[in-house]
Chains A and B, each alone.
Chain A
Amino acid sequence: MERILLYVEDTPGMPTAIAWSLKLAKGMSCRVFALSVIDPAAPRRREAQASDAEESAWSLLYEIEDDAFQQNVRISLLLESGDPLSRLVSLSSSYDAELIVASADCRLTTSELVRQSSRPVVFVK
């Protein structure tokens, strides 16, 4: 395996999914693509909240990047806008990811992700 696509959301279970992905990537010498998706349809009261959401997403991505760097794991960061499920499925093909990893408490409809994805999916709890 050469490429893992890690779906990133700010949920309580995310640190476990990150740690699991980095450990797997290190063990298999593969690259992690860390993907965060800003959903423009998500309810936000003000434009400032959308801006905060983007800053928070970048912040989490760079935290993961720093952890990966400390562990000698190769990583690329992706921040996208759109429907999270469709972007995740689409990018898993674009980047030819061999595995999708998400936290078990992510906000995606997990059954839909498994149904739509042509790649293996692991939910980490």
Chain B
Amino acid sequence: MARISELLPRSAIVLNLQSKEKFEVINELVRPLVATGAVTDEPEFVSAIVRRENMESTGIGLGVAIPHARTRAVSSIVLAFGRSDAGVDFNSLDGKPSHLIFLIAAPEEQKTEYIMTLARLSKLLRMDEVRIGLNKAGSPDDIARVILQHES
């Protein structure tokens, strides 16, 4: 199974998110995934993400959110990352805004890989040193390095 660092293209790392609102942030992160070719149907993918966001809280606390969807609008598992200094309200159970946002796109038929990617990323992001590293990183390469360093 691919590592998180292998699933995150440098072109899909946004160090300074311009959007302030959850669904605008999602759109900002989906665009580079469409450019990679992994998201083949942007409206359908965004619709799947929005539907999930309306039913669940993908803010996992600690300033982290992981919006995600598994849909036919995706050809291979791919991640995007965005960082927001101001923070974005992802309805986290701890009530705090999310500053580190990972968006996961997965094909409908890859349920196991999708679940494992979510689990591994969630575990990674509960580590203090990972969140500190991601907050401090100055470039997409730094982001990738922080993740790679802590992946077991």
A8-48, CB < 8 A from B: 48
Q: Does B152 contact A (CB under 8 A)?
A: yes
A74 B120 Cβ-Cβ under 8 A: no
Q: Report Cα–Cα, A3/B91, bound state, in Å.
A: 16
Main DSSP-derived SS at the A contact region: helix
Given contacts A66-B115, A77-B60, contact A55 B120 (CB under 8 A): yes
How distant is the Cα of A65 from the Cα of B118 in the complex, in angstroms? 11
- A34-70, CB under 8 A of B: which get 1 and which 0? 0000000000000010010011101101110110110
Whether A55 contacts B60 in the complex (CB less than 8 A), given A62-B115, A62-B118, comes out as: no
Which residue of B55, B111, B114, B122 is within 8 Å of A72 (Cβ)?
B55
Closest approach, in angstroms, between the C-beta of A29 and any C-beta of chain B? 12
Contact call A55/B119, Cβ cutoff below 8 A: yes
Q: Chain B 102-125 against A: per-residue CB contact (8 Å), 1 yes, 0 no?
A: 000000000100111011101100
Contact of A69 with B52 at beta-carbon distance under 8 Å, contacts A54-B126, A63-B115 already known: yes
B86 within 8 A of A: no
CB distance from B151 to the nearest CB of A (A): 11
Q: Is B99 an interface residue (CB 8 A)?
A: no
Instruction: Please report B residues at the A interface, Cβ cutoff 8 Å.
Output: 52, 55-57, 60, 70, 93, 111, 114-116, 118-120, 122-123, 126, 152
CB within 8 Å of B: which residues of A? 48, 51, 54-56, 58-59, 61-63, 65-66, 68-69, 72-79, 95
Top 3 A-B pairs, shortest CB-CB distance: A58-B119, A59-B119, A62-B118
